[in-house]
Structure 1
């Protein structure tokens, strides 16, 4: 068998293989970079999560702060303080008013869960699966032994210690989140300016404009999710009040919290509501409750979200499910909560950087004070003790915090004043 000789000048490796190899090592580097970033975030989660919560709170409270500034003529610091205190007062009032009922309701909810387990066990023993009672009791005894033996006891003790540590982390994180929220509301634009000015000169304006569009997307997402969660909680809570009045408030709160995990959270909390009604009132009531849950979720998915989010958060439902699943695998419940807003912002930012502007009405007329290098001193023939001053283009003073506002184009430059000192 003869081998055909390679023609002079021809590459021995086919072009398709070389292209695949080039893509492969680049994808590997990108994967390693993503893994390194995720690992670093997991190590710093006590700081990263509160800062992320602070960003969401700042986006949520900023319209209230702007309203107080515009209509009541309050200074920015006072408007921020009033916004934060109002938010905290509402949260504390809701917890204080409903706290006792919530505690009692979740106790009843636990009792209903136990009753539901007994009912499911009875169905497994007498239903089509024909799993014997002795076999089920054996499984239950194995679980009990796992919890009561030495290993199980040590696991429980370790879990208690871990819970105490978690409570400490939650308190520290709450303080960090409140502290960062205050400063994001007071001087968010100044913080953003400092971050952008760390980049090379040629990339600053592009990154700034992409960031403005990311903030618009995040604002739309936060406002919509809060409203959607309220609608879901009210609808399912009112529906469950006809069947389990004592558990209507706990179920409403559970649905409200779960709705912040798009699609998955609504499905899981809706199933829990149906199961609770099934245990308490039977199959007919459970089917009616299922119809209520489906109706509320259809109104949410086909009316509220398209109307409120529109073009701002354009993620396909398949992408949302995959993002939530990936976030859950990577960071548990925290990943599930933050994965969709992060994906929505990244989608908007990457589209803009690649030439697709989802918000052309914003334009590019909002510039940060970009620092330019002045000419070298020897070329000017001036003393190194020459003073510098800032010169700003004509126009109204910029908003110190609004990265998405429509203000006149301005750019700060440094100019030598020519006075030897």
Structure 2
């Protein structure tokens, strides 16, 4: 009962200081991304220690960012400035085309003025916070993020051991196995998302350039970055590209061209690129993804949307490990009928009567990789269990040795006391 009381107090404390956690969470994500690179550098360069490797990586990243800013910075800044300066003309042009090309009829100047008033009110520093406070908080958050990421990379193993001490000995093997599965899932998800951002930024830039849209670089990068927000992010990117495009080309062409091309690219990504890059890393239902993203946005804003999917997938792994499904609970999906099923049965035969196709080479490789990961986890768990048993045996041996030493000391003291009493007795006899 006392344990649950202190746990409740701890959760209340965490809730009250929740605004402090974002820089540390971002630092943990950065450390998680850089840790494999640090380990690789330490393996390749024998004399290089983790602190030196971290310094090399950060200086290399700083140099890369400066180089990218020198190359693309002026163009991005110019495109952003043009979009910001022409925001009123763009909004008016889009509303005017909607009013003239669709059955919708409204007062374009009035609606434009209302939209601009809303944007101006939303952008006032008095309604958000003081600009100096924003800058100082941002700089402090960046500093905390960098420092925490460095310490987490260098002392990551000690942090893991610190939390492992709170797990009972009989459950440590299962916890280590679960953490290894979570690590594999998170590494696939994070690395896959970074690859998808680069791919979709390039594809969006190419599509917008083919349509002759100005500011294609800025809009393409925006569409790529929106990939980190599942389900909702791509829709925001397509919508933004369409709105900007409507101000430059005819409404009919834009309404069918740019959204259709970006949507087609998104479908190719979902069905071809994502299975190869990420695979079934998170294994979450689409409704669960949407719910997790909305909950994350409600609880922690933009950062919550970024970490919602990994957190939800980790919770699912914990639940699957703690409450696994029985064989009777695993229901097979029903076969749906309809016109499509009738056509398939008519021209290709009944799918249920056909023999299953042999697995492809990619499926065989994925299955082999999964088996290897499972075997590696089992070997790691066995080694960890052996180390724990060895540590326990060593501790027991030390305790036994200490007890024997104390026993010998007590025997020696008892013998000395007995000899002293015997000497006193002899001395008394001689005196009498």
Structure 1 and Structure 2 fold alike (TM over 0.5)? yes
> Whose helix proportion is higher, 1 or 2?
2
Query: Of 230, 235, 240, which aligns to 2:198?
Result: 230
Change (3 A) 1:157 1:302: closer
Query: Of 19, 24, 28, which aligns to 1:55?
Result: 28
Change (3 A) 1:70 1:111: same
Unmatched 5+ stretches in structure 1: 1-28, 369-405
Paired residue secondary structure (1:281): coil
Change (3 A) 1:244 1:55: farther
Asked whether 1:118 is paired with 2:114, we answer: no
Unmatched 5+ stretches in structure 2: 326-369, 410-432
User: Could you state the TM-score of these two structures normalised by the residue count of structure 1?
Assistant: 0.71
Is the CA contact 1:215–1:345 (under 8 Å) kept in the aligned structure 2?
no
Asked whether 1:259 is paired with 2:234, we answer: no
Query: Of 365, 368, 374, which aligns to 1:360?
Result: 374
> Shift of residue 139 of structure 1?
8.2
Asked whether 1:43 is paired with 2:12, we answer: no
Paired residue secondary structure (2:257): helix
Aligned to 1:385: none
User: Bigger shift: 351-360 or 307-316?
Assistant: 351-360
Aligned-partner Cα distance in 2 for 1:90–1:38: 42
Aligned-partner Cα distance in 2 for 1:239–1:334: 29
Greater RCO, 1 or 2 (C-alpha within 8 Å, sep 6+)? 1
> Shift of residue 229 of structure 1?
0.8
Aligned-partner Cα distance in 1 for 2:385–2:173: 15
Aligned-partner Cα distance in 2 for 1:143–1:238: 31
Aligned to 1:129: 104
Query: Of 260, 263, 283, which aligns to 1:291?
Result: 260
Aligned to 2:161: 193
Aligned-partner Cα distance in 2 for 1:290–1:264: 15
User: Could you state the TM-score of these two structures normalised by the residue count of structure 2?
Assistant: 0.69
Superposed CA offset, 1:95-154 (max 9, x none)? 333222111111222345422311244346555333246xx538836975x899xxx79x
Aligned-partner Cα distance in 2 for 1:42–1:217: 30
Aligned-partner Cα distance in 1 for 2:11–2:241: 38
Aligned-partner Cα distance in 2 for 1:211–1:54: 19
Superposed CA offset, 1:66-110 (max 9, x none)? 221222323233223222322233233223332221111112223
Is the CA contact 1:84–1:182 (under 8 Å) kept in the aligned structure 2?
no
Is the CA contact 1:213–1:349 (under 8 Å) kept in the aligned structure 2?
no
Aligned to 1:319: 288
Is the CA contact 1:366–1:409 (under 8 Å) kept in the aligned structure 2?
no
Greater C-alpha Rg: 2
Change (3 A) 1:67 1:245: farther
Change (3 A) 1:215 1:102: same
What are the equivalent positions in structure 2 for 1:20-419 lying under 5 Å apart? Answer: 40-41=14-15, 43-46=17-20, 48-73=21-46, 74-123=48-97, 126=100, 128-132=103-107, 137=110, 140=113, 144=117, 156-159=124-127, 161-244=129-212, 246-282=214-250, 283-285=252-254, 287-355=256-324, 360-366=374-380, 409-411=386-388, 412-413=391-392, 414=395, 415-416=397-398, 417-418=401-402
Aligned-partner Cα distance in 2 for 1:130–1:80: 60
